[in-house]
Structure 1
Amino acid sequence: MVSHDEFEQANARAEKRKRQEPSAVFARYDKRIHRLVIGLSSGIEVAFPPHSAEGLERAKPADLDLIEISPSGLGLHFPKLDADLYLPALLEGFLGSRQWMAAKLGKHGGSVKSAAKTVAAQKNGRLGGRPRKPAIAGS
């Protein structure tokens, strides 16, 4: 059970965080520009294509016409998708968690072709290519 003091301390931390970080004051999907638009308490508006955000990759415009803002202003909920975005993580990780963004960037980086990658692959091939994986006993 949480004590009264712990509850008050948690509320104080939440208030401090609210003052230090921007919170959402409105959120809407703009069909004209195909962007999710979030208005922040700092006066800044952030707009991005929904498919760029974790959890909204396959969202259709009709899925985005209802967006709920949490009482703290730090969360966005999309009831039709049962998806949630946490605003600090969204802003910090550029539209997704660090792990999700790293995976997206890694996938993109691995598919990039360049002269340097071609030369490195050719050099590796002359050395015998990738080392063989050790055989597992019993397979």
Structure 2
Amino acid sequence: MAITEQQFEEAQARAAATRQAGHAVAARYDRKHGRVVVSLHNGVELAVPVELVEGLADAAPDDLADIEVTPAGLGLHWPKLDADVYVPALMQGVFGSRRWMAAQLGATGGKATSKAKADAARANGRKGGRPPKTATA
């Protein structure tokens, strides 16, 4: 696929605008609080718990501590984990792929308790609870 000079210039302009909105100048792993702290060019620091970020939740602290900021400042890379995070997405609260985020939201929703859920569980308990599983031949 050939890229024209105009397309290249437009891409550079988009990248510059994205960088201006916020790019990382440093990143570190805060072991005490279990979070990644990203320092942005404007002095703002963004702290994100590692359990919220796709690919980081089950990583060892030593692996999490080895963070590289990409030259443009738009990405973070963990070489030992082969994990990458897009800084503008972190700033928007997007901590992984759509599929991964949907799975996280679904798991959280399944853990939710409500009055309706509690009432249904009590009613089911009064009926003897779940029927036992039977072996089929």
| TM-score normalised to structure 2 length | 0.76
Question: After alignment, is 70-79 or 8-17 more displaced?
Answer: 8-17
Q: Is the 8 A contact 1:24 1:74 kept in 2?
A: yes
Name the residue aligned to 1:102. 102
- The structural deviation recorded for 1:112 is 2.1
- The structural deviation recorded for 1:15 is 1.0
- Equivalent positions of 1:1-139 (< 5 A) are 1-19=2-20, 21-119=21-119
How many Å separate the matches in 1 of 2:105 and 2:114?
16
CA offsets per residue over residues 18-61 of structure 1, 9 Å max, x none? 22x21111001122333211111232111132122111111111
Name the residue aligned to 1:134. none
Q: Is the 8 A contact 1:89 1:97 kept in 2?
A: no
Change (3 A) 1:48 1:10: closer
Change (3 A) 1:111 1:34: closer
Q: Is the 8 A contact 2:56 2:64 kept in 1?
A: no
AA paired with 1:57?
Answer: A
How many Å separate the matches in 1 of 2:23 and 2:41?
5
The CA RMSD over aligned residues, in Å, is 2.3
Q: Is the 8 A contact 1:22 1:40 kept in 2?
A: yes
Q: Is the 8 A contact 1:93 1:101 kept in 2?
A: no
State, as a whole percentage, how many aligned pairs show the same letter. Answer: 50
How many Å separate the matches in 2 of 1:80 and 1:60?
10
How many Å separate the matches in 2 of 1:42 and 1:97?
27
**Any stretches of 5+ residues in structure 1 without a counterpart?**
124-139
AA paired with 2:29?
Answer: Y
Change (3 A) 1:113 1:32: closer
| TM-score normalised to structure 1 length | 0.75
- The structural deviation recorded for 1:3 is 1.9
SS in 1 for 2:71: coil
The number of equivalent residue pairs is 123
Which 4+ stretches in 1 moved above 4 angstroms? 120-123
